[in-house]
A and B are shown apart, each in its own frame.
Chain A
Amino acid sequence: MRALRWVTIVLGVMFGLLPLLWLVLTAFKHHPDAITTTAKFVPIPGTAVGSAGVAFSPTLEAFGATGRAAADGEPNFLDYVLNSAIIGLCSTAASVGLGTSCAYGFSRFRIAGAKDWLFFVLSTRFFPPLAVVAPILIMYRSVHLPNTHLGLIILYSAFNLSLATWLMKGFIDEIPRAYEESAVVDGYSRMATFFRLILPQARTGMAVTAVFCIISSWNEFGFAMTLNNAHAVPVPVYFAGLQGNIEGVPWPRIAAGTLLFVSPIVAFTIMVRKHLLRGVTFGTIKQ
């Protein structure tokens, strides 16, 4: 039984991590090593580039290349990262801020049809988002929102808002009302109790919600590809564009860029992973 369990775990982990491992290996290869027909997976310094066998010579060349612009005056990788960061951070801030306010309202006030409203909020995630890409493109065009940061910020905020509202409602429901009642008796306004008591205690929940929001906007491709393919282009769209390169697909550069691109999210997620687990299982156990 024990052996079987370990075999299952190892196979599962390998299955999950193999693509990532391949990404890491590719990021350290020279271009010819990345496109050989034999899979090269043993990094041995000094191996000749393009040699036969499974060994390859590791290099940082691809990482250097990611920083270079395709031509003078063209944006380089860091410009795309900046676009992604602006869009991701702003939309995350908007989703978490609006979602928290919304959740507070649903949690603390008597709202007519609150359950129906909450269901409606959730239902915006029932259909595949790309189903609405055409109408959104047409609407955006009429207000000149394609190829702007603001366009994607609005879109991602709207899509993440339902998740943020539901997650935050779980967290705020768990904050005892006695805190606010105590403060209200002591002379505080509802607004003051929200900022001085609810927000500090909802910090964990907000961090968890922020992780989910930023992951989804950081990685989003479909809308970004359709709406922002000329200006304010985020990284995933930029990578996709590299495929049409005259010298062939620059796999090491894409791998290196992807690695750099995912690292901040991974670091952030690891930082808050304790809370993450609490966040997704929140409210499932009645205390």
Chain B
Amino acid sequence: MSFLRLSSVKKTYPDGTVAVKGVDLDVKDGEFVVLLGPSGCGKTTTLRMVAGLETCSAGKIELAGVDVTSLRPSQRDVGFVFQFYALYPHLSVRENVAFPLRCAGVRVAEIHARVDQVCERVGISPLLTRYPAELSGGDRQRVALARAMVRRPRVYLMDEPLGTLDADQRLEMCEFIRAQQQELGVTTLYVTHDQEEAMSIADRIVVMVDGNIRQIGSPTGVYDDPADLFVAGFVGSPGMNLIDGAVERREGRPVFVPKRSPLALPLPMEGDSGPATLGIRPEYVHANAHGPLGGVVVLDEYLGSHRFVHVETREGRIVMRSNQPHPPGSTVSLGLDLTHCRLFDGLSGRSRAHV
């Protein structure tokens, strides 16, 4: 059953900027959904409209079966975590966490108990008397989470909560947020521009560009079967290798002919002839002396457990995941594991698998 439903939600700012062009989204009860996209894609605006911090120019937002489109933020019962924490600098940690309860008219003894409980849960009990300025980034974000959790809202809305953290804290907090959310089973809408963060935390990922949703799917779905060329390039680090060319039929079988090479790569799937782009992840590219695609190594990106070798070929730059070093300047022939390739329409850029 859908718990949070956005129907044709649009946002046009008074100056004429269209931030969100029409978003349809169903979030199930207890689901962790991540809005992923580059900056300026409308993901934060969408989140703020769900919270009621921005009004919708058009469309409808339903929360637990109730139309909340025209309700004030305070009437929606959501918990919001801000990118820069928004902890009140003049209040101690305890007062910060208690702040949402003070207005709800909760009895003092209960406020105390609930603050203790939630702070225990997020691991900030020793910090209750401190002030925000005295905390590390990770601890500040824990306090912000505790403050969003203490009122037990129906939905958590998180706007790039890990955006300002260091890399090591980021991973820790990412796991932590996911664990908290699963334990409490609270529906969560989470905004980030970091696709790795999205992959590791989400039940479902919503990829947004230019105010539109491009794809909604599980992390593996979005990674393995990107809906279009943008998603293919954006998700994954590095993104999918893309080779322009055309699908043709040779001896009754479909083959992919790259634009600039006299090659015929046999395709594992059926496909209509015509211009197309072939997408293949770096892990399905390997060095092979008999490989069809030759090129010069331009960058050997060493990442410890593996490396990404960037090879300049006639078909453009291809990235290969490898365990062997390939010094820049050396030549290499690339083999492509075409059983894992994806085809995109040459005109629309949409995945042929999604048509």
Contact = CB atoms under 8 A, between A and B. Distances in A.
Interface of A: 110, 176, 178-179, 181-189, 192, 197, 200-201
27 contacts: A110-B14, A178-B86, A179-B86, A181-B51, A181-B53, A181-B73, A181-B82, A181-B86, A182-B82, A182-B147, A183-B99, A184-B72, A185-B51, A185-B73, A185-B76, A185-B78, A185-B80, A186-B74, A186-B99, A186-B100, A186-B147, A187-B100, A187-B103, A188-B74, A200-B90, A201-B89, A201-B90
A183 B91 CA distance: 13
Contacts of B347: none
- Most chain B beta-carbon contacts within 10 A, residue among A176, A183, A187, A192: A187
Chain B CB count within 10 A is highest, among A179, A181, A185, A186, for A185
Nearest to B53: A181
B5 interface: no
Interface in B45-104: 51-53, 72-74, 76, 78-80, 82, 84, 86, 88-90, 99-100, 103-104
B103 A186 contact: yes
A188 B73 CA distance: 9
A67 to B, nearest CB: 43
B11 interface: no
Contacts of B147: 182, 186
Contacts of B103: 183, 186-188, 192
A197 B82 CA distance: 16
B193 interface: no
Nearest to A175: B89
Contacts of B52: 185
B194 to A, nearest CB: 20
Contacts of B342: none
Chain B's interface size range is: 20 to 34
Q: Which of A178, A179, A192 has the most CB of B within 10 A?
A: A178
B82 A187 contact: no
A184 B74 contact: yes
B161 to A, nearest CB: 12
A181 B76 CA distance: 13
Contacts of A197: 88
A184 B84 CA distance: 16
Contacts of A181: 51, 53, 73, 80, 82, 86
Nearest to A178: B86
A107 B51 CA distance: 22
Contacts of A192: 103
Nearest to B159: A178
B53 A179 contact: no
B151 interface: yes
A110 B14 CA distance: 11
Contacts of B86: 176, 178-179, 181-182
Interface of B: 14, 51-53, 72-74, 76, 78-80, 82, 84, 86, 88-90, 99-100, 103-104, 147, 151
Given A181-B73, A185-B78, 4 more contacts: A185-B51, A187-B151, A192-B103, A197-B88
B90 to A, nearest CB: 4
Closest 7 CB pairs of A and B: A186-B100, A178-B86, A187-B74, A182-B86, A185-B80, A200-B90, A185-B73
A176 B151 contact: no
A201 B147 CA distance: 19
Nearest to A197: B88
Contact of A178 (B78, B84, B90): B84
B90 A182 contact: no
A178 B151 CA distance: 18
A199 to B, nearest CB: 10
Contacts of A178: 82, 84, 86
Contacts of B88: 179, 197, 201
A115 to B, nearest CB: 15
Nearest to A184: B73
Contacts of A201: 88-90
Contact of A189 (B74, B79, B104): B74
A182 B100 CA distance: 9
Given A200-B90, A201-B89, A185 B74 contact: yes
A185 B99 contact: no
A120 to B, nearest CB: 23
A189 B90 CA distance: 19
A185 B89 contact: no
B106 to A, nearest CB: 11
A172 B76 CA distance: 27
Contacts of A187: 74, 100, 103-104, 151
A261 B90 CA distance: 35
Contacts of A182: 80, 82, 86, 147
Counting chain B CB atoms within 10 Å of each CB, the highest count among A176, A188, A201 belongs to A188
Contacts of B99: 183, 186
Contacts of B73: 181, 184-185
A197 to B, nearest CB: 6
Contacts of A188: 74, 103
A111 to B, nearest CB: 13
A103 B76 CA distance: 29
A199 B89 CA distance: 12
Nearest to B105: A187
Nearest to A203: B90
Nearest to B48: A181
Contacts of B74: 184-189
